[in-house]
């Protein structure tokens, strides 16, 4: 056998070993991923399956992965004995209003800082960047005092206004407006377009993907908001569903199935939105993570 043939055989053996090693590594990684997915998903499974158990099964001292007596009693109780419909309506109103307001103001502010030249532009930009570094929770006391002074405590408007502060949306829009070639703006200006036409006919249509992603992630965040709505609302008629569901209780003790059913009904719309717009939500998370990074 020639030296070149022996060298080829050795290379083939080494390549076969490498392929086997890669296969073993891929199999191990797959198994680890499956185990991690099961560990992550089990609490969600336990949450959902518990809502279909009667209460005496829920409080048993041992684990049952499937109910012996399948029932919808927890859900019927939530629907029949709470103001879940009112809470849903309040959440829809506040979430849609917050989404529209945040996206509209973010787009307008981002466009102004990116494309217009006016006194104080740099100072405004640095203020937006500085406000982005301040956690919203640190401003809750100030927000509550302001809402109390203007008589908006325990109102839907009082829930909405403080949540319109979203500097990350302004930052994302500015970055994308900066990337639009100046030739488009100059051509539109020559044709007589004003600033509003430039924004709505040139810049936003080029960034509909960004707008959609930001709108979806803003809506999900507004729907899931708890701390501020919990502080500013005092009656069930004004509470969004994330807060109202905490009122699901009984005078004779805690009914876990009912509480968990309320949690499922609270998160179900957001889960549906996420499943439908999964790619857009992922895009929005990547955008905001890129800004934070």
Nearest-5° angle of CA 47, CA 49, CA 54?
Answer: 105
pTM: 0.80
| pLDDT higher than 60, residue 7 | no
pLDDT at 14: 52
pLDDT of residue 102: 94
- pLDDT 10s digits, 163-208: 998 888 898 898 888 888 888 888 888 888 888 888 888 888 887 7
DSSP 8-state symbol, 198? I
Average pLDDT over residues 145-152: 92
- What tokens appear for 123 in the block? 């100072």
Convert the pLDDT of each residue in 38-71 to its tens digit.
898 888 888 889 889 888 888 777 777 888 888 8
What is the residue whose two structure tokens read 């198994």?
31
Question: Tell me, what's the pLDDT at 249?
Answer: 66
The per-residue pLDDT of the chain, averaged, comes to 82
CB 97 within 8 A of CB 160: yes
Residue 289 has pLDDT above 60, yes or no: no
Percent of the chain topping pLDDT 70: 85
Per-residue model confidence (pLDDT) at position 292: 47
Residue indicated by tokens 């809502």? 51
- Among 163, 152, 186, residue whose Cα is nearest residue 242: 163
* Cα distances (angstroms) measured from residue 162 to each of 105, 137, 233: 13, 11, 13
Question: Per residue in 98-112, pLDDT tens?
Answer: 999 999 999 999 988
Q: Quick one: pLDDT at residue 251?
A: 46
pLDDT at 94: 95
Q: What is the pLDDT of residue 4?
A: 53
With tokens 């959440």, the residue in question is 91
- What is the pLDDT confidence band of residue 293, given thresholds at 50, 70 and 90? very low
Opening angle at CA 116, ends 113 and 122, nearest 5: 45
**Planar angle of CA 152, 158, 164, nearest 5 degrees:** 140
Three-class HEC string of 99-150: HHHHHHHHHHHHHHHHHCCCCCHHHHHHHHHHHHCCCHHHHHHHHHHHHHHC
Average pLDDT over residues 218-236: 90
Question: Does the pLDDT of residue 279 top 80, yes or no?
Answer: no
Mean pLDDT computed over 143-170: 91
> According to the model, what pLDDT value does residue 286 have?
64
Residue 272 to residues 192, 204, 265, Cα–Cα distance (Å):
44, 27, 11
Mean pLDDT of 106-122: 88
- Compute the distance between CA of residue 173 and CA of residue 207 in angstroms, rounded to an integer: 9
Mean pLDDT of 242-257: 73
> How far is 44 from 40, CA to CA, in rounded Å?
8
């Amino acid at each position: 056998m020639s030296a070149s043939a022996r060298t080829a055989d050795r290379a083939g053996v080494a390549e076969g070993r490498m392929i086997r090693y890669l296969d073993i590594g891929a199999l191990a990684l797959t198994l680890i991923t499956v185990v991690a997915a099961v560990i992550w998903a089990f609490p969600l499974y336990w949450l959902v399956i518990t809502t279909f158990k009667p209460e005496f099964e829920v409080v048993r001292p041992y684990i049952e992965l499937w109910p012996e007596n399948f029932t919808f009693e927890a859900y019927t109780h939530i629907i029949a004995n709470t103001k879940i419909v009112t809470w849903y309506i309040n959440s829809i109103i506040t979430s849609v209003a917050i989404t529209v307001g945040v996206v509209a103001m973010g787009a307008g502010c981002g466009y102004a800082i990116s494309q217009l030249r006016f006194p104080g532009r740099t100072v405004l930009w640095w203020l937006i960047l500085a406000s982005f570094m301040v956690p919203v929770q640190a401003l809750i006391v100030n927000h509550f005092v302001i809402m109390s002074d203007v008589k908006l405590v325990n109102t839907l408007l009082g829930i909405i206004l403080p949540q319109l502060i979203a500097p990350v949306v302004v930052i994302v829009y500015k970055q994308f407006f900066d990337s639009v070639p100046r030739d488009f703006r100059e051509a539109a200006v020559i044709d007589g377009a004003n600033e509003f036409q430039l924004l709505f006919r040139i810049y936003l249509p080029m960034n509909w993907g960004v707008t959609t992603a930001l709108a979806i992630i803003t809506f999900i965040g507004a729907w899931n908001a708890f701390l501020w709505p919990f502080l500013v609302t005092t009656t069930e008629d004004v509470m969004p569903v994330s807060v109202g569901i905490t009122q699901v209780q009984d005078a004779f003790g805690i009914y876990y199935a009912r509480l968990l059913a309320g949690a499922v009904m609270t998160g179900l719309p957001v889960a549906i939105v996420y499943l439908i717009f999964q790619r857009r939500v992922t895009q929005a998370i990547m955008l905001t993570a890129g800004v934070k990074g």
